[in-house]
Amino acid sequence: MVPENILRLSEVNLTRNGNSLLAGINFEVLSGENWVILGPNGSGKTSLLRIASMFEHPSSGTVTLLEHTLGLSDIRKIRHLVGFTGHGISQLLRLDLIAEDVVMTAKYGALEPWWHTYSEQDKLKAHSHMEVLGVYHLAKQRFGTLSTGEKQRVLLARSLMSDPKLLLLDEPASGLDLPGREELMKSLSSLVSDYKSPPVVMVTHHVEEIPEGFSHILFLKEGLAMESGPIAEKLNSENLSKCFGIDLEVREFKGRWSAQSVAG
């Protein structure tokens, strides 16, 4: 099957208060690809995701999602095609909602189950997303009583409920303890290996937070796309050192990565 073009940023620039936050970004996501965007704090990762999620217009350049071009298409017809899990949403949800309702209500972008009518089909769909992310056993548990990691995985299941064509994740592992992070890594690996899942673009600044199964990497440095391509080819000590500006050694072990500084 010929891969479909899901997202394309061409010559994207973003300038705010006279500062260039992103410059000359060319970035393309095809169906079947799962991308990691890696770069130090302040390199423009969140800015890039905000543009990809259609929440922000670039200062120049074009953004195309499927056949829709930002600025030329009706934004209301495009936005729901992108699932976005950042921080924020967790605070909006009532803590005594049960986890399956937190997932299911995303069908209409709602926060409460009584605003809409849901079918048995909707519930089954919520359960199947929870299953993929390893949180089905928590379906009847109140959201407020879940651990941070469990909440994060329930919110991921929620973001799949509207059938997005692209899923964007901004530092999904931040704030998790080691078991929480590892559970999330497992969930994300099972998500990207599920043929029904949309392509995922995940932002992080730790190579330890790259789940097994992600295929491509974009290195961002000071708002520039320093390097991009298949992870197996591009994630190495040379590129990582250049991106973070210190001498680092990268190791791969069973499909996961780690890095440490080497004495110069």
Contacting residue, 44, 61, 172, 180, with ligand ADP by CB under 6 A: 44
149 binds, among ligand ADP, Mg ion, none (CB under 5 to 8 A by kind): none
Residue whose entry in the numeric block shows the structure tokens 């929440």: 55
Regarding 47 and contact with ligand ADP (CB under 6 A), the answer is yes
Regarding 46 and contact with Mg ion (CB under 5 A), the answer is yes
Regarding 239 and contact with ligand ADP (CB under 6 A), the answer is no
Using the minimum distance from each CB to Mg ion, give the nearer residue, 45 or 151. Answer: 45
For residues 2 to 41, the per-residue mask of contacts with Mg ion, x marking binding by CB under 5 A and - elsewhere, is ----------------------------------------
Query: What beta strand segments (E) does 66-199 contain?
Result: 68-69, 82-85, 166-170
Using the minimum distance from each CB to ligand ADP, give the nearer residue, 154 or 203. Answer: 203
Please report, to the nearest 10 degrees, the dihedral formed by the alpha carbons of residues 92, 179, 142, 116 taken in order: 50
Parallel, antiparallel, or unpaired for β 248-253 and 166-170?
Answer: unpaired
Contacting residue, 7, 12, 21, 243, with ligand ADP by CB under 6 A: 21
- The residue count for the chain: 264
Q: Which residues contact 86 (CB under 8 A, 6 or more apart)?
A: 49, 170
Contacting residue, 2, 41, 115, 195, with ligand ADP by CB under 6 A: 41
Regarding 46 and contact with ligand ADP (CB under 6 A), the answer is yes
Distance CA 33, CA 168 (A): 13
Provide the phi-psi class of 199: left if phi over 0, else alpha when psi is between -120 and 50, else beta. Answer: beta
Please report, as ranges, the residues that interact with ligand ADP according to CB under 6 A: 16-17, 19, 21, 39, 41-47
